[in-house]
Amino acid sequence: MVRRLALLAVGASALVAPVAPGARRTALKAADAQLDGMIGTSIECGDQVWDPLELSQWRDAGEMRACELANGRAAMLGWVGWLWPQVFGLWKGGPVTTTDPIDAIMQVPTVAWAQFIVFCGAIEANKYNWAKGEGPMTDPSKPFFDPLGLYPTDAAGQEKMQLRELKNARVAMIGFAGLFVNHFMPGAVPGLGGFH
Is 141 labelled a binding residue? no
Q: Which residues of 27-59 are buried (b: 16+ CB within 10 A; e: fewer)?
A: eeeebbebbeebbbbeeeeeeebbbeeeebbee
Is 73 labelled a binding residue? yes
Is 165 labelled a binding residue? yes
In the chain the domains, ranked by start, together with CATH numbers, are: 61-184 (1.10.3460.10)
Is 71 labelled a binding residue? no
**pLDDT digits 0-9 by tens, 130-175:** 666 655 555 556 676 778 888 888 888 888 888 888 889 999 999 9
**pLDDT digits 0-9 by tens, 161-173:** 888 888 899 999 9
Is 25 labelled a binding residue? no
Q: Given a cut of 90, is residue 115 above it in pLDDT?
A: yes
Is 56 labelled a binding residue? yes
**pLDDT digits 0-9 by tens, 74-87:** 999 999 988 888 88
pLDDT at 28: 46
